[in-house]
Amino acid sequence: MHNKLKLPLFLFGCPRSGTTYLQSLLTAHPEIISLPETKFFHYLLPNNEPKRRILGMASRRLRPKLETLFKNEMNRPDLLKYLPKNTLFIRQYTRRFLKIMNLLAEEQGKSIWLEKTPEHIRYIDYIEKNVPIAKFIHIQRNGIDVVASLYEVSNKYPKFWYGGFDIDHCIDRWIEAVNITSQHLHKNNHILVKYEKLVDDTPTILKELCKFIGIEFDNKMLEDYQETAKSLVRKQSGRVVSQGAVNTRLQKFYQVFDQSQQEYILSRFTEVGQEQN
C-alpha cells in the first residue's frame, strides 16, 4: 500500500438533507470513489466511555461496526486485516482507516475518496487535526422539510435509526448541524451546498464543487449517479436516490404533521430565529 494519501473529502449535514443524493452525484465522477456510511469517527471516539477517552483508546463499539460494514455492506472482509490487531488506540485506528480508504481508491485508479456520514459533522475538529489535507462539503436543506422527513423515516424504520425520533429531537438535530456548519465556513477547505439550489440547478452547483475539489466537471456525474447510488445506500435506511431528488418544499410537512404539530414546529423555528432556511 502506498503511503501517499489520496485527497480526502468529507460530506455531511443533518440527516435527510440530501447527503446521499449529493454523494451519488459526486461519486459518479471518474476521479472519486465512495462507500456506504462508515460512521467511523462516530464510533471511534469513546464519548460515553470516559476512562477510555482519557487513555486515548478507541470505543469498544468501533471494531464490531467496521466488521459489519466490511463484511455485510461492502462484501470486503479482506479489509479487516488492515485494522489494528494489538492496539486499541484512537490514533492508530485513524491511521489504519485512512490507509484502507487510500487502498480502495488505488484499487479503482481514483485520485479522491469521499466519506459521507452525517454524524461526522460533530467531529470536524478531530478530522481536521488528523487529516489536514481534507476538504469538507456541508449540505443544508430547508429545516421544516428536514424535520418532516427525519420524523417520518425514523419512525418508519426505528431499528435502523435506533428508535423513532420525536419532533423536538428532529428540530434539535437540524439546528445543531446548521450551527456547526456556520462555525467553519470561513475556512478555505469548507464549502456549503444548499439542497434546493442543487436540485434546481444541478450542473451549476456540481461545477462549483468540482472547482472547490480541484477537478474538471464531468457529465457522468449527471448521467450515472442513479447507478452509483445503488452501492452507497445502506439497507433499511429509508433513502431513495435512484429516481433522483425532488424539491418538494413543505409538501411532506403538511402530510406528516397535524395542525397542532405544524404550529408547534413553526414556533420552535421562530424561537431560535432559524425560520425555514
Predicted confidence (pLDDT) per residue in 2-54, tens digit: 446 689 999 999 999 999 999 999 999 999 999 999 999 999 987 777 777 77
**So what's the pLDDT on residue 188?**
97
What's the per-residue H, E or C state across 49-112?
CHHHHHCCECCCCHHHHHHHHHHHHCCCHHHHHHCCCCCCEHHHHHHHHHHHHHHHHHHCCCCE
pLDDT digits over 147-196, tens only?
Answer: 999 999 999 989 888 889 999 999 999 999 999 999 999 999 999 999 99
* Strands lying side by side in the sheet with 135-140: 32-34, 112-116, 7-12, 135-140, 190-194
- The mean per-residue pLDDT over the stretch 238-261 comes to 72
- The mean per-residue pLDDT over the stretch 138-153 comes to 95
Instruction: Classify 208 in phi/psi space as left (phi over 0), alpha (psi -120 to 50) or beta.
Output: alpha
pLDDT digits over 44-91, tens only?
Answer: 987 777 777 778 888 888 999 999 999 988 899 999 999 887 668 898
pLDDT digits over 92-123, tens only?
Answer: 999 999 999 999 999 999 999 999 999 999 99
Give percent of the chain above pLDDT 90. 69
Burial of 247 (0-12, 13-18, 19+ CB in 10 A): middle
Q: Looking at the DSSP assignment, which residues form a beta bridge with residue 215? A: none
Is pLDDT above 90 for 214?
yes
